[in-house]
Amino acid sequence: MRDKALPEDEVMRILEETRAHDYNYDRFFSTMCSLPHPIAIRAHDMFLETNLGDPGLFPGVAELEERVVQMLGELLGCPGASGYVSTGGTESNIQAIRAARNEAGRKDGNIVVPASAHFSFDKIGDLLCLEVRKAELDENLRVDLSSVESLLDEKTVAMVGIAGTTEFGQVDPIEELAGMAQERGIHLHVDAAFGGFVLPFLDRKFAWDFSVPAVSSITIDPHKMGMSTIPAGGLLFRSPQCLNALETETYYLTKARQASLTGTRSGAAAASTYAVMMHLGREGFKKMVGYCMDLTDYLVAGAREIGIEPLIEPVMNVVALKVPSPGKVREELMERDWHVSMTREPNRALRLILMRHMTKENIDLFLKDLQATVIL
Ligand SMILES: *Cc1c(COP(=O)(O)O)cnc(C)c1O
């Protein structure tokens, strides 16, 4: 740290200069985040210094958080759900599995997740000392049920299904997983970090949320398709006991017990999520999701015209495109300031997410560059 103070202007100049090194959202196909809705930014700023880690001091924002949990519960088929606004999908997944493990009362357990699971589950295995068993995928890139069945045993503390896989946007057969979970009395966690704000607004309907009786917990991220500011995650439990299984005593704070993973946590995310959900309503989200799906269809049609096929017919606004040497194609595209990502082996492909910041004009430009790059 410097010894002497630096005038505000000087500091701001450095910040602006450095900020200019960041790339712009309008060239991003690789991220599940997007520009927050303007009202989310306003709410975020208004609640910036509030601390939900000590809710007795900030009962106002604590109330907003409760209302967010209730709205999310309604959206996901369980108006009485318990939960909280986390920092994102990773924290929500950690906490869901931690609650399941605590409820099962085992420290030497395992969890069974699809091979398509987000890497947060590898962190979970390490943090919670659980063995992470990965079930194979079927030809549609959904988890294979017989593979899941073969991995379950008496030490399994949780099963995971994904509603909107990070790489393919695919939805696992949640009802069938729920059947297995119910039969064996295992906690079923549904990771809808991305899909949570997509699936309720699609014309095509899936059974994946709390309306499926054996679903015990759900991860849903407002900072992905929820148009909220970062860091806004959501964790919901069907039963309040599950949330209780996460609580520790806090000794010196205004509330005697705390269930969140982080201690100090800004209320800005809760306020921002509340503001967007209230302002847009289901109507507004349906429109936004419709826009993203329209972009998705447009991209896939354009890709097919230049001879490029998707790995699966897109279910949501995530597309995996089959191209020869995707790693090389990706690098070439990066040089043209297009940011795309890749899926893992054995289904290596270019991965694109069509978020609300994308436009058809930019998709046209991108497809031209993609065509030139693939021929190279
Ligand atoms: C993005 C994602 C996560 C992780 O969420 P973060 O907010 O990045 O921590 C977890 N699961 C799925 C399915 C995701 O797409």
Q: What is the CA radius of gyration of the chain?
A: 21
Q: How many CA atoms lie within 13 A of 23 on its CB side?
A: 15
Integer CA distances (angstroms), 82 to 10, 30, 31, in order: 47, 32, 29
DSSP letters of 100-125? Answer: HHHHHT-SS-EEEEETT--THHHHHH
Distance from the alpha carbon of residue 250 to the mean position of ligand 1, in angstroms: 28
pLDDT-derived band at 376 (thresholds 50, 70, 90) equals low
- The H-or-E segment that residue 274 falls in is helix 268-305
Which tens digits make up the pLDDT trace of 362-375? 999 999 999 999 97
Dig out the tokens for 339 from the structure.
Answer: 């940011």
Q: Is 167 helix (H, G, I), strand (E, B) or coil?
A: coil
Which tens digits make up the pLDDT trace of 273-293? 999 999 999 999 999 999 999
Q: What is the pLDDT of residue 282?
A: 98
Q: At a CB cut-off of 8 Å and minimum separation 6, what does 114 contact? A: 134, 135, 137, 142, 143, 148, 160, 161, 162, 165, 172
Which tens digits make up the pLDDT trace of 295-321? 999 999 999 999 999 999 999 999 999
Dig out the tokens for 157 from the structure.
Answer: 């503390």
Measured by CA distance, the residue closest to atom 5 of ligand 1 is 89
- The H-or-E segment that residue 156 falls in is strand 156-162
Which tens digits make up the pLDDT trace of 161-207? 999 999 999 999 999 999 999 999 999 999 999 999 999 999 999 99
DSSP 8-state symbol, 6: -
Q: Is 49 exposed, middle or buried (0-12, 13-18, 19+ CB in 10 A)?
A: exposed
> Which of 208, 221, 261 is the pocket-test mutation for ligand 1 (most atoms within 8 Å of CB)?
221
Give the ligand 1 atom nearest the CA of 89: 5
What average pLDDT does the segment 114-125 reach?
A: 98
**Parallel, antiparallel or unpaired: strands 131-135 and 110-114:** parallel
Dig out the tokens for 92 from the structure.
Answer: 């929500």
Residues in the chain: 376
Cα torsion at 153, 154, 157, 161 (round to 10°)? Answer: 30
User: What's the rounded Cα separation, in Å, for the pair 315 and 170?
Assistant: 6
Q: What is the pLDDT of residue 20?
A: 97
- The H-or-E segment that residue 341 falls in is strand 341-342
Q: What is the pLDDT of residue 222?
A: 98
Ligand 1 surroundings by CB, under 6 angstroms: 32, 88-90, 93, 118, 120, 162, 166, 191, 193-194, 221, 233
Which tens digits make up the pLDDT trace of 58-103? 999 999 999 999 999 999 999 999 999 999 999 999 999 999 999 9
- The H-or-E segment that residue 146 falls in is helix 145-151
In order of their start, the domains of the chain are 8-36+281-375 (3.90.1150.10), 38-278 (3.40.640.10)
Mean pLDDT across the chain: 97
Q: At a CB cut-off of 8 Å and minimum separation 6, what does 322 contact? A: 308, 309, 310, 311, 349
Q: Kindly tell me if the per-residue pLDDT of 122 is higher than 70.
A: yes
Q: Which residues of 163-173 are buried (b: 16+ CB within 10 A; e: fewer)?
A: bbbbbbbbbbb
Give the ligand 1 atom nearest the CA of 165: 13
Q: What percent of the chain stands above pLDDT 90?
A: 97
pLDDT-derived band at 255 (thresholds 50, 70, 90) equals confident
